[in-house]
Amino acid sequence: MLRRKKSSSPEHKRDPAAHGGALSMSQNNTRSFFNFSQLVLSAGHLRSPPVLKHSKITYFEVEILDVQSKKQICIVDKVPPSSTLLDVKHKFHKACPQWYPSRVGLQLERNGPYLKDSVNIQSLAVSSIITLYFTDLGQQVGWTTFFLTEYTGPLLIYLLFYIRLSTIYDQVESTKNFRHPVVHLACFCHCLHYIRHLLETLFVHKFSGGHTPLKNMIKGCAFYWGFTSWIAYYINHPRYTPPSFGHRQVSLAALAFLMCEAGNHFINVALAHQNHSGSKACFPSPTYNPFTWLFLLVSCPNYTYEVGSWISFTVMTQTLPVGIFAFLMVIQMSLWAQKKHKLYLKKFYPEVRRKAAMIPIIF
């Protein structure tokens, strides 16, 4: 019989070693992965590097046409979306130096309103090309210059008549006649009125840098200067006669005049500070100052006090030119008050809806 030899298979001998080596390798891999995980957790979250976003800025082209002929004047190109209409006017001025920004009027439509300088150009855009119509507004002056010129003239003109220049009145007659005290009082009240206007123009009123045509200033100066000459001539004339009811009429009218002047000043101060009382703009409300209580009845009490001043001045001097001037002022102030009252209704409807414009019930 053949003996079966026990052959030692090398494969069976290598199996435990191979199995043990595989286990050790898997353990090493697990330990390495664990150490790497701990390292990642201790280092925090991995952040991807920021991706740079390239923003595309869209520029506009503004085509400016003549409002009459519809011919193209120029094209203002590369206008950023954040630009205002004033920026467009400055670039238009560089292309056409004969038209500086304050005399340039731009419209979206030929018969439309003039656009404000603060309008953002992006709000007008329908496409990348914006068409605007140009109108030459003529020679312009600033509002401060406008009011200073308009109010300085009456102040100086009245003083020229008050000193009774020999070129205006007869020198012999003016030295003989005695001046009634109301003449001196009228000069004081008239000068006080226009000095108040000048000081408020410089220190109270806030103008947004706007302009007005020069022809408007000429019209205003002609109106105020002309009426001042007519009024001053009669009041300071050597043959001027005092009011019919004498001292009582003059005193009561002068007191009313001073009260209206004070009320006008306090109302203008309140209007100048109406947007600084809080984060939201609101209509001025009456304060402890009794002169501001008129806000409870009317929306434009500054015009009410202005009219009251001239009516009081008419009663105090009792002259026809002052009466005509006061009548015209009532008409003009009522028109301005109605226009401003409509703007107040749009902006401050709950506060203004039950108020009159200038005079309760009447206006």
Query: What mean pLDDT comes out for the span 136-152?
Result: 94
**What 3-state DSSP class applies to 140?**
strand
Q: What average pLDDT is seen over the chain?
A: 84
The single residue listed with the structure tokens 């082209």 is 61
Helix (H) or strand (E) holding 164: none
Helix (H) or strand (E) holding 168: none
Dist. CA 59–CA 80, nearest whole Å: 5
The single residue listed with the structure tokens 């020198």 is 171
* Predicted confidence band of residue 51 (pLDDT cuts 50, 70, 90): very low
Range scoring the smallest mean pLDDT among 67-71, 157-161, 232-236:
67-71
Give me 196's structure tokens. 């108040």
Give me 283's structure tokens. 């209509």
| Residue 363 in this model has a pLDDT that exceeds 60 | no
**pLDDT tens-digit series, residues 172-194:** 777 767 889 999 999 999 999 99
Q: Taken in order 31, 35, 37, 41, is the CA torsion positive or negative?
A: positive
| Residue 150 in this model has a pLDDT that exceeds 80 | yes
**pLDDT tens-digit series, residues 76-118:** 998 998 899 999 999 999 999 998 898 999 999 988 899 988 8
| Residue 47 in this model has a pLDDT that exceeds 70 | no
Q: What is the pTM of this model?
A: 0.77
**What stretches of the chain adopt beta strand conformation (E)?**
60-66, 72-79, 104-107, 129-136, 140-142, 211-213
For 73, phi then psi, to 5°, come to -90, -50
Dist. CA 188–CA 155, nearest whole Å: 11
Output the pLDDT for position 228.
Answer: 98
Count helices and strands in the chain by DSSP H and E runs: 10, 6
Task: Say if residues 23 and 31 touch (Cβ distance below 8 Å).
Answer: no
- In terms of Cβ atoms closer than 10 Å to its own Cβ (0-12, 13-18, 19+), residue 283 is middle
**pLDDT tens-digit series, residues 7-29:** 444 444 444 444 444 445 555 55
| Residue 149 in this model has a pLDDT that exceeds 80 | yes
Output the pLDDT for position 315.
Answer: 98
**What 3-state DSSP class applies to 7?**
coil
Dist. CA 55–CA 265, nearest whole Å: 53
Taking 3-state DSSP, the helix, strand and coil percentages for the chain, each rounded to the nearest 5, stand at: 55, 10, 35
* Predicted confidence band of residue 39 (pLDDT cuts 50, 70, 90): low
| Residue 209 in this model has a pLDDT that exceeds 80 | no
Output the pLDDT for position 8.
Answer: 45
Spatial CA neighbour of 358 closest among 289, 288, 311: 311
- CATH numbers and ranges of domains, the chain: 60-137 (3.10.20.90), 139-242 (no CATH), 244-274+285-362 (no CATH)
